[in-house]
Structure 1
Amino acid sequence: MSGPCDALDGTSSDVVIVGGGASGLSLAHRLTVLGAPTVTLVEAPDGPRRPPERTWCYWDRGTGDFGEAITASWSRLRIHATDGSEVTVDPSPLRYHMLRSTAFERLVHSRLALSPGGRLLRATADTVRNTLDGAEVRCTAADGRTLTLRARHVFDSRPRRALPPARTQLMQHFRGWLVHTDADRFDPAVADLMDFRVPQPVHGLAFGYVLPLAPDRALVEYTEFSRTPLTTSAYERALAHYSRDILKLGAFTVESAEQGVIPMTDGRFARRVGPAVFRIGTAGGATRPATGYTFAAVQRQSRAVAEALHDGRAIVPPPHGRRALAMDAVLLRALDTGRIDGPDFFTGLFRRIPPERLLRFLDGATSPWEEWGIGMRTPIGPMLRTAVELPFLARRSHPAPRSGGNHR
């Protein structure tokens, strides 16, 4: 699939994809399915620049094209309110799926290998620029050599150095442990999507997140929606408290850990950098502002990009519709100001809205009439006050997340 770096230096492709995260891998997959002539995927080489294994989750009616890479899936989802009460829902025909990044990489890499024009380059992308006849990507190989790739189109998924100006910006930040317990402690049929029994921060909200893989094995995570990420030691203390005092796991070992930060912002993400360079994934606005969900939008965006290229057009459509972004801007501001109580808000949605409809709403796949009905089941006064206020707020710069990664 990928020969010596020298063989790729100076070569031209129809498409170069920069970054081997969820969006880069997804676009490479879609292009190979449609039979794009030549696709080069640039991934960081092994070492400090290569991210550790990550977890990506989404809900769907079936497994789609990713069946062989799915680690686990659940037909029931559970929410724990701050008072300890539970809401368990069955969103049938939707199921919640978990992908581990290594399995997804293997799947996409194998399909690139089977594609006559598919190539994988392990190198660090340094610069991406438009040229008179396309675009150029300058890379540094693991041995320090400089390589130049040329393409008709480049799709760049690398995190932005600075986020666009926004009226509101929070961070979804988390740390998770893959734990193995000495006794059976988990129900593999139910995923805990939000567990609000953890101590709540002064600003924002916090919840636990449990994806059981077996009765004695699960991904256990602590997540916050707030303005500033925590230190690793603070996440560790929060995870220890959640695992021992709330979940009461007893004796357990931590097999691995993962950590990340996802921007939650109503900033306007430009998806086109020039005639031949485009941003995709979180860098292209795929992250849902008020929830941090990303993976499903990445699939919609990747499918649309691949189909457009197949038809001879180069576009990156908006991953979320205007109505969804407008509603998210209101919710994000209401959370940030404390006008609504985050745990009560999300718990209430799962109590009052049919689960399949609610999940479609979170993915931006509901009709205006369905959205009106959902809106009538939210705190109307605080939301209206926030909606009236938003047009008068200035957009300003906020710090970008220090590290990336996402689960949803």
Structure 2
Amino acid sequence: MTLIEERPDVGGGRGGEGPVDADVAIIGAGAAGLSLAHRLSSGTAGRRTPSVLLLTAPPGPLRPARRTWCFWEAGPGPYDPALTASWQRLRVRPARGRPVESRIAPLRYKMLGSDDFEELVHRDLAARGTVRRTEAVVDTVEGVPGGARVRAATPAGVPLDVRARWVFDSRPLGALPAARTTLFQHFHGWFVRAERPVFDPGVVDLMDFRTPQPPRGLSFGYVLPTGRHTALVEYTEFSPAPLTQEQYDAALRHYTRDVLGLGRLRVTAEESGVIPMTDAPFARQSGPAVFRIGTAGGATRPSTGYTFAAVQRQARAVAAAFGAGRRPVPPPAHSARSRAMDAVLLRALATGRVDGADFFSRLFARVPAERLLRFLDGRTLLYEDIAVGLRTPVLPMLRTAAELPRLPRRPFEDP
């Protein structure tokens, strides 16, 4: 079985009769879908590598936009050949006062562009020859005896009927699940080239709070330098609703000109994103043989918006389950303790009980950066979590924690 690019007749070639059989069907070729296909094809899923059909949306609104993912890990990783850059120094700038700069060894903070990630994965999949790929718009997924059935159509309108033992669906949900608190991390970024050598390529400005703060939530600048003259500069908010394009552009002009003092620069590319930050529970299973992965399966960390590292953990766990002969149910991306702490922080930010800029500035000033990153990734022990908690505004956080059990979960409504 080989990697098939844009094959229009994969449903049998006669109007869709004659279903395609595979061990695994993966819906969506974003970070979650490609990571799972890559992991399953790597030979780590047991002696018999499962056959995989990867259903990717055709070019258009259903296909994920180009984006940049950032994550941290110790040592080399499988996607290092595709990295744009990586760093071992992070900096957080409070609204007033001196910046906090930290070394995060043995961790590295890594920047990965989606185009480079896709090129690496597709090259590996083609070489391994266990994944077929076709463009299709998926209509329905339903359980059938012995597995699941996916009904879709190719870009030419040819019906596609797929039967698989297991289906992994990474498509965005139509609506967010009911929650007590929902904010959004929304951002707009410029890839810039400055006339002067104004960037330090050895350090990332992870959070720069010298930006005007919204009434609810927080805002910050984010600078990922790739050279002395080049960087990705983003304006980010955690707040109830995204901004207009004009507001993002105004915020970035203010940040690059008045805060950073970059001088003359050229914008070479742009990127935007909206990430839900919610304490809603995400179902990881929608049928006996149908599972949700990625953001739709709860991979996004509610307190930070980071997703890529959790997607990798899900993919590794699914592959390990195949190798052990278990049902390949994706595990929770984040522990119950992490989700409970995130729920408290989201509520405290949404109610204004804590000043978001001050909250994160104090954390990075008072907690060793390497430990704090492990905490944000849900990889700290209980005593470390308690130590971090004691360095937050304790009384507002306790008040919020006491309030949460009495709050109903409500469907999300656009403000």
Normalising by structure 2, what TM-score?
0.94
Q: Deviations over 1:289-332 (max 9, x none)?
A: 11111111111111101111222222111111111111111111
Task: Determine the structure 1 residue equivalent to 2:394.
Answer: 380
Match of 1:183 among 167, 180, 196: 196
Task: Determine the structure 1 residue equivalent to 2:16.
Answer: none
Task: Determine the structure 2 residue equivalent to 1:215.
Answer: 228
Q: Secondary structure at the match of 1:369?
A: helix
Q: Deviations over 1:134-191 (max 9, x none)?
A: 1122222222322222211110111111111111111111111111112211111011
Match of 1:240 among 247, 253, 270: 253
Match of 2:169 among 150, 156, 161: 156
Q: How many aligned residue pairs are there?
A: 401
The offset of 1:22, in angstroms, is: 1.1
Task: Determine the structure 2 residue equivalent to 1:342.
Answer: 356
The offset of 1:66, in angstroms, is: 1.0
Task: Determine the structure 1 residue equivalent to 2:133.
Answer: 120
User: Residues 80 and 347 of structure 1 are in contact (CA less than 8 Å); yes or no, is this contact kept in structure 2?
Assistant: yes
Q: Deviations over 1:268-298 (max 9, x none)?
A: 1111000111001110111111111111111
Is residue 257 from structure 1 mapped to residue 270 from structure 2 by the alignment? yes
Match of 1:299 among 300, 312, 318: 312
User: Residues 360 and 366 of structure 1 are in contact (CA less than 8 Å); yes or no, is this contact kept in structure 2?
Assistant: yes
Task: Determine the structure 2 residue equivalent to 1:405.
Answer: none
Is residue 138 from structure 1 mapped to residue 147 from structure 2 by the alignment? no
Q: How far apart, in 1, do the equivalents of 2:250 and 2:63 lie?
A: 27
Kindly report the root-mean-square deviation, in angstroms, between the aligned alpha carbons of the 2 structures.
1.5
Alignment of 1:267-282 (within 5 A): 267-282=280-295
Task: Determine the structure 1 residue equivalent to 2:26.
Answer: 17
The offset of 1:37, in angstroms, is: 2.2
Match of 1:5 among 8, 28, 31: 8
Match of 1:66 among 79, 88, 111: 79
User: Residues 10 and 160 of structure 2 are in contact (CA less than 8 Å); yes or no, is this contact kept in structure 1?
Assistant: no
Q: How far apart, in 2, do the equivalents of 1:257 and 1:127 lie?
A: 34
2:33 maps to amino acid:
G
The offset of 1:8, in angstroms, is: 4.8
**Displaced runs of 4+ in structure 1, greater than 4 A?**
none
Q: How far apart, in 1, do the equivalents of 2:61 and 2:170 lie?
A: 18
User: Residues 8 and 156 of structure 2 are in contact (CA less than 8 Å); yes or no, is this contact kept in structure 1?
Assistant: no
Alignment of 1:33-72 (within 5 A): 33=42, 34=44, 36-72=49-85
The offset of 1:122, in angstroms, is: 2.0
Structure 2: gaps spanning 5 or more residues: 13-18
Task: Determine the structure 2 residue equivalent to 1:404.
Answer: none
Q: How far apart, in 2, do the equivalents of 1:241 and 1:53 lie?
A: 25
1:125 maps to amino acid:
V
The offset of 1:92, in angstroms, is: 0.7
Normalising by structure 1, what TM-score?
0.95
Is residue 195 from structure 1 mapped to residue 208 from structure 2 by the alignment? yes
1:227 maps to amino acid:
P
Q: How far apart, in 1, do the equivalents of 2:26 and 2:399 lie?
A: 43
The offset of 1:46, in angstroms, is: 2.5
Task: Determine the structure 1 residue equivalent to 2:339.
Answer: 325
Percent identity, please: 58
1:312 maps to amino acid:
G
Q: Deviations over 1:40-97 (max 9, x none)?
A: 1111222343233110010011231111111100110011101152111101110100
The offset of 1:208, in angstroms, is: 0.6
Alignment of 1:222-233 (within 5 A): 222-233=235-246
2:386 maps to amino acid:
W
Q: Secondary structure at the match of 2:344?
A: helix
2:37 maps to amino acid:
A
Task: Determine the structure 1 residue equivalent to 2:329.
Answer: 315
User: Residues 74 and 97 of structure 1 are in contact (CA less than 8 Å); yes or no, is this contact kept in structure 2?
Assistant: yes
2:124 maps to amino acid:
R
User: Residues 76 and 190 of structure 1 are in contact (CA less than 8 Å); yes or no, is this contact kept in structure 2?
Assistant: yes
The offset of 1:400, in angstroms, is: 7.4
Q: How far apart, in 1, do the equivalents of 2:364 and 2:336 lie?
A: 24
